[in-house]
Structure 1
Amino acid sequence: MLSTKKATFWLFFVVERVLTAQIPLSPDYHQVDPLQWDLDEPPAVNATGNLVFETANSLLQHWPSTRYRIGHTIVPGIVPVGTILYHGTITGPHMPTALDWVAVEPEHSMIFCNGTVETGYWHATFSVTRPMKVLYFDGNSAAKVSEGTMDTQDLVAWSEMKPEWFENELQRIQDLCKWGLQNGVDGFVSEIMICNFTSHMELISFSNVESLRLGDDNPADLPNDPNTIFEMMHSASWRENYPGETRIILDYSGLISFYDNDLVPSLVPRHVGVERWDHRVAGISPEDIERVKDRLAQVLKQPPVTASGIDWKTVLRFVVDRYASRLDMMQYLMNITLDDTPVLLDRARKVQRQLRTILAPYIILGTPPSRGSVEVNATNSWAAPVFQGCATTHTSTIGTRGILTPSERLLLQAVQETTREICRVTTRIWASGFIAGIDPLYPPDQDLDADHIRTLMGEWKEDIARLMSWLDWNVWVKCRPACGVEEMCYFPTWPFQGWDSASKLWLDLNEGDWKRPQPKCIRRLEPYGF
């Protein structure tokens, strides 16, 4: 048994350790260099962190890939064991033996089946038996148009852009698979190009099914049933937004981005000041092409253990989840006539509450100074610790979790640049609202100056609009007002970019609608149309 003296010592030791463990740990936000966290310093004009962020956050999602057709990202991935794939034969009742295409939905594969109303047609269903290594091209990379949708495939297959070959799909799959064989790649994802049908899949069924054509004996044509064509597009909409296509698992630690200024410096001047609709990979220098292909070869050879283990898909999505709806709400609150003073003040307070909610975890006790001292501090440098805390909390330890791959360092930089700008703008607006007496937790000593609030709200509206335009998150792009029960929200896309008099399908588009597509409500039931 312990002596009383020893027992007292151990009791004191244990209590001391418990109390020490309960001391709140707060980041040292007050030791901040205001020059490093300047609320008035926007991103550099050639910064591409926002573009890397949103393209990486949009991978395998149909909506953003349709909006921005020209892809700028290549990522290795795996089609897992047990995945069901479909193939509509174009040569009659014969199994493909080597190179061909499969789809992840039967609605897609069935429209390519060859047959007539009398004979029916043949449709195969497969199951993946071994993990299938694939290379994914983002954007609308299955669209056979000459406008750049296949730029990144051209680069891999031929080390140059060949837009005139946009319909030469047989040569494309042959040369991609030849390159893939040398680099351990089994297939390519736009649709899924399969390089060997016998190595990673087994046949589940090979069925002679009824034709989808309405009395059309020409097997070269697509089905002329409007419902069949529409339902193919409808099935694609199931993977419209996050999490996107979950039957393909991407390895973000091997991501290659043509917005990586260090990897492809020749594209930097082609992006600065150019709307994203008009960004092209074409124009990349031969030196950068070789650098990209060398990086790709390294990525495909590296074992998975070299990655940090960070779930980048979740890291990216967390940022969007945290800020997207609140930024959207603030933009809505500011969309008012500034002459209505009571409404103006009410909306200003509501905006300030949204900002405080965003920044609350980083407003350390004692951060907001007395207003008397703030009035002479035009730089708002007192709010720099809030800016820093907001911008660094979620990435400050990522670099300490082992060695990051070059792709992971690029993703980390993208998250840092994106959160920094979100936090800079929101902290800046919140600080100006605090000074003006709008913050409900710090009521003003006198009546608010309506003219000053009106000016602030005008500035805030521009700041939020500029931030949301810079972020350009696809989560904000939707049909407004929302579509009805018998409708779906749709982006004009290939191959349905024009009116088809045979199928009586809608799309009466002008050139602007095609080049800069905007969401539209279309009917899900006959008669199909806008």
Structure 2
Amino acid sequence: MAPPPLTSTRKQRISSATLFHPTWIALFIIVIFVVVALIRFDSVLPSFLFAPGPESLSPPTNITPTSYHDAAPFVFDSLHGLLKQWPNSYAPNGHSIVVGTVPPHTQLFHGKHGPGLPDKLPFFAFDAEMSLGIFGATASSVIHTLAPTRPLRVIYFDGQSATLTETGTLDSQMAILGGEVPSVPVYNHIYDEDQRALDLCALVDDLGIDGVVRMNAGFEILLCNWPRSGVEHLFASNLTLPGNRERAVDKSLPNDPNRQPPLGFGNAFGEQGSFEWLRSATWHYGNYGQGGPAFGRVKPDLCTMVSFYDPELASLSSLHHGRIIGNQTFQNGWGLRRGHRLVGISSRDVKAVKSRIRENIGGSKCSGIEWAVLAESIVAQHKTRLLDIAKTISSPQPASFIVTRIHELSHAILYAYLEYPFAAIGRSAAEVEALTVSRCSSAYTSKVNPSGLSKSEMLLYHSINVVLNRLCSFEWDLLKWSEKYTTQLLGESDDIDLSRIQKEIEDKQKLMSSLLAWIGWDNWTQCEAQCSVDQLCAIPTWPVVYAPGFPQGGIYAVNNTRTSIQDLAEFWRPKCINRTDFDRGGGRGRDPDHQFPDIPSYNEV
């Protein structure tokens, strides 16, 4: 009978006589000789003996500027959306990790049940409304207010990285913490936040930082050891209302902690707290939807931005543009980013990302360029005019009106870079075109020396150049086409043939749609009108949602395969809502038995 295999629970006994058999002694001497020879004569031995294993190989080095074409709009969109509630709600599957700092004296809030200070592994909200929305509706709740006495070093996972779903919101954390992203994660892999906190804090300790910043309906920070991080406790507020505990044990009331008394137990201000939580999220929309600026209590160091869109990550390089995983075929938000996943990322690419994060924590060579300001400037220059052009070119207006308007708008974008042939002696029309597009494309980066950029900045640099080149080339095409029917100052003219012009307008419309789909700016929508003072311009934000027509509200209803495209478009359409609308539209994830009636759509009001 063959001996049993050696395992952790059953091992063969090896006698000392066997261990010191002459054969084993001879083999041991040979091994020692070989090791010494390798150390002494490594320079003359074949190089493959010392080549690193496949998991430790450096990222591919054959990356050229053209390699960034597919990734560029996604990287740019990620850059422009960092620490903004609105874009990260529309594109919740984050693909960026950035090192940042929380300034001293920033207020932090933590809700809990019962007495005592927050534990050593707590999540803190940056807005009291978020803690109140989570814990303030319970029978017994205490809100703690704290503040750091020194800057806190953190890493920020973009997207809705604090949103517990199976559709990709946790992908970047799964990749970093577990080395892979399962296509069908187990239940605890999604909903066990206690274990995730332990895993994140092991990463925090390994990196030598203070915590992790994430977002769902608002921004939060996980501080793994808040006393050690110099965070001081300011005070605690007991929010337990008289009668709450009595309602909690009243068997005649539904066991629904989100409902107002007398229909359920909990804080009498519970529903108001949910609405105020949504209000606080709109403060960080980032100049979208009539909201406030980007979240300012975390200062990101954009020269450390690591992106899973980076073309150096070969296992993901073909999985994004034009591909949506799962049933999320509705391109809500802008472009295709909502359905992007990290499923299929290789262990080598995960290690490359973790290595880059470690390098950035340790201090990376940075140029000092304000990349966020640069992205804002580019969007400001091009976005509203492009949307105006898109609306004009699709309008039922006469062809003459459309051509004239397009000429005016494209000229408004390009006039700072344009020299007409008669103003540039000896310069042909082709040279004027090349010069204009070149100036427009490089105005923001022409003096940037790539050799002075960090690895992360190189990705931003090339992505911005690719985005600008496509924008400027398309805008020149519109100017050149419309100019020959209007001012004719570029030296070209054409007869007015309305049928031909109408066909050309239709062709330009298709090119416009293609550009907007590629750049991802086609659905940067707002509320149709200025909201009144008692209303919020709101979009669904997990777990605080306003979801007319969706029994359970929230992101789960959006992923329901039975939901039509029209329903999804209505779901994501920004709406002006007040407290009554919020309650009638579902509030905070109502279950069907306690669902309020849906607020009618605009055309039913």
TM range (shorter): 0.7 to 0.9
Q: CA RMSD in A?
A: 3.3
Partner of 1:471: 519
For 1:223-372, list aligned pairs within 5 A: 224=260, 225-242=270-287, 243-262=293-312, 264-274=313-323, 275-302=336-363, 306-337=365-396, 343-366=398-421
Q: CA deviation at 1:212?
A: 11
* Cross-structure match for 2:446: 396
- 2:99 and 2:305 in contact (8 A); partners too: yes
Distance in structure 1 (CA, Å) of the matches to 2:102 and 2:522: 26
**3-state SS of the aligned residue for 2:470?**
helix
Shift of 1:66: 0.9
Query: TM-score, structure 2 length as denominator?
Result: 0.70
Structure 1 residue runs of 5 or longer lacking an equivalent are 1-42, 375-379
Segments of structure 2 that go 5 or more residues without pairing to the other structure are: 1-65, 215-219, 250-254, 261-269, 288-292, 324-335, 586-598, 600-605
Cα distance between partner residues in 1 of 2:134 and 2:285? 22
Opposite residue 322 of structure 2, the aligned amino acid is G
2:50 aligned partner: none
Distance in 2, matches of 1:213 and 1:438, equals 75
Alpha-carbon deviation of 1:330?
1.1
Say if 2:105 is the partner of 1:82: yes
Asked whether the 8 Å contact 2:304–2:360 carries over to 1, the reply is: yes
Residue 192 of structure 2: aligned partner: 168
Distance change >3 Å, CA 388–CA 173, structure 1 → 2: same
Give the drift of 1:470: 1.3
1:212/1:228 contact within 8 Å kept: no
Query: Which residues in structure 2 correspond to 1:123-202 (within 5 Å)?
Result: 123-161=143-181, 163-164=185-186, 165-190=189-214, 191-198=220-227, 199-202=229-232
TM-aligned CA deviation for residue 159 of structure 1: 2.1
1:68 maps to 91
User: Does the C-alpha gap of structure 1 residues 208 and 440 become closer, same or farther in structure 2, counting only changes over 3 Å?
Assistant: farther
CA contact under 8 A between 1:121 and 1:209: conserved in structure 2?
yes
Q: Which residue of 1 aligns with 2:15?
A: none
**Structure 1 residues 15-44: Cα deviation after superposition (integer angstroms, max 9, x where no partner):** xxxxxxxxxxxxxxxxxxxxxxxxxxxx88
Deviates more, 1:154-163 or 1:181-190: 154-163
Secondary structure of the residue aligned to 1:232 is helix
* Residues 180 and 346, structure 2, Cα contact 8 Å, conserved in 1: no
Please state how far the C-alpha of 1:160 moved relative to its aligned partner. Answer: 2.5
Deviations 1:440-489 (A, max 9, x none): 76799897332333233222222222222211138722334665665433
CA separation of 1:432 and 1:227: change in aligned 2, threshold 3 A: same
Task: Please give the residue correspondences for 1:184-223 in structure 2 after superposition, counting only pairs within 5 Å.
Answer: 184-190=208-214, 191-198=220-227, 199-211=229-241, 216-217=247-248, 221-222=257-258
Residue 383 of structure 1 and its aligned partner are, at CA, apart by: 1.5
Note the C-alpha offset of 1:74. Answer: 0.6
8 Å Cα contact 1:123/1:208 also seen in 2: yes
Equivalent pairs, count? 468
CA distance in 1, matches of 2:395, 2:256: 56
Q: Deviations over 1:73-104 (max 9, x none)?
A: 111101111211111113x1111241111101
| 1:207-264 superposed Cα distances (whole Å, 9 cap, x missing partner) | 11244997742799446433221221121011112441011100100101010011x1
Q: Secondary structure at the match of 1:398?
A: coil
Give the secondary-structure state (helix, strand or coil) at the position aligned to 1:268: coil
Q: Indicate the residue corresponding to 2:593 in structure 1.
A: none
- Distance in 1, Cα, partners of 2:552 & 2:576: 13
Distance change (3 Å), C-alpha of 1:508 and 1:116: closer
Question: What's the CA shift for 1:384?
Answer: 1.8
Q: Which amino acid aligns with 2:445?
A: T
Identity %: 26
Which residue identity lines up with residue 179 of structure 1 in the other structure? L
**1:317-361 CA distances to partner (integer Å, 9 max, x unpaired)?**
110011111111111222222xx6xx3212311210111111111
Q: Which residue is 1:28 aligned to?
A: none
Residue matched to 1:6: none
SS at structure 2 position matched to 1:205: strand
Structure 1 residues 499 and 271: alpha-carbon distance in aligned structure 2, compared to 1, 3 A threshold? closer
Q: Secondary structure at the match of 1:206?
A: strand
**Structure 1 residues 187 and 221, CA, compared in 2 at 3 Å: closer, same or farther?**
farther
Given the alignment, which residue of 455, 477, 501 partners 1:453? 501
Q: Which whole-Å CA distance do the structure 1 matches of 2:230 and 2:176 have between them?
A: 23
The worse-fitting range, judged by mean Cα deviation, of 477-486 and 315-324 is: 477-486
Residues 131, 367 of structure 1: CA spacing in aligned structure 2 closer, same or farther, 3 A cutoff?
farther
Q: Separation in 2 of the partners of 1:100 and 1:474? A: 39
Please name the residue that 2:130 is paired with: 108
Separation in 2, partners of 1:368, 1:206: 71
Distance 1:157 1:166 in 2: 13
Aligned to 2:33: none
Q: CA deviation at 1:302?
A: 1.3
Following superposition, the deviation at residue 202 of structure 1 comes to 1.1
Q: Which of residues 577, 592, 603 in structure 2 aligns to 1:523?
A: 577
Using the TM superposition, give the Cα deviation of residue 500 of structure 1 relative to its aligned residue in structure 2, in angstroms. 11
Amino acid at match of 1:148: G
**Structure 1 residues 216, 491: CA separation in 2 closer, same or farther (over 3 Å shift)?**
farther
Report the structure number with the largest CA radius of gyration: 2
Between 311-320 and 504-513, report the one with greater CA deviation. Answer: 504-513
In structure 2, the partner of 1:406 is 455
